[in-house]
Each structure stands twice: as C-alpha cells, then as structure tokens.
Amino acid sequence: MSRDKWSAEDVAKVISNPVYTGVGQYPRVIDDDTWVAANKRMVEEMGAEAYLRRLLAVLRETFSA
C-alpha cells in the first residue's frame, strides 16, 4: 500500500483488519460497531469462506514482522 493510489483490495484489507479497533499495541482508529458493520457487509458480499481467507492473510501480514 505504499503507492499513491489505493486499490479496492487495499481498502478491503484495512477494513477487515481488526487491529484498527485497538487490538494489542495498536491504537483504536475505528469503533467496534463500525468495524462489525463493515465486516458483516464484506461477508455478505464475498461469502464467509472468501472473507475468512482474507482475514487470515491480513492477520498473517500484520503480525509477521
């Protein structure tokens, strides 16, 4: 995501990443209700399996450092 323009995939990764709700050392930048609503919509649009695979990839990317 270091490019000047964000792709739809970049935005989806940010929206689905729970660390933005203030998990662990990460500061809260979105409230729980907004995160849940956004992710509920993603599950509805993508289907549960595709969403869960994306979530795992996002978490692995976030915590792989």
65, pLDDT greater than 70: no
For residue 51, the cross-strand partners are: none
Rounded to a whole number of angstroms, the distance between the first and last alpha carbons of the chain is: 16
Which pair of tokens denotes residue 20? 């933005």
Q: How far is CA 17 from CA 13, 26, 55, in A?
A: 6, 11, 7
Count CB-CB contacts under 10 A for residue 42: 17
For the question of whether the overall pTM of this predicted structure is more than 0.85, the answer is no
Q: Domains of the chain: which residue ranges? A: 8-63
Q: What is the pLDDT of residue 41?
A: 96
Measured CA to CA, the distance from residue 44 to residue 30 in angstroms comes to 20
**Over the stretch 4-62, which tens digit does the pLDDT of each residue have?**
899 988 888 888 999 999 998 999 999 999 999 999 999 999 999 999 999 999 999 99
pLDDT confidence tier of residue 2, bands split at 50, 70 and 90? low
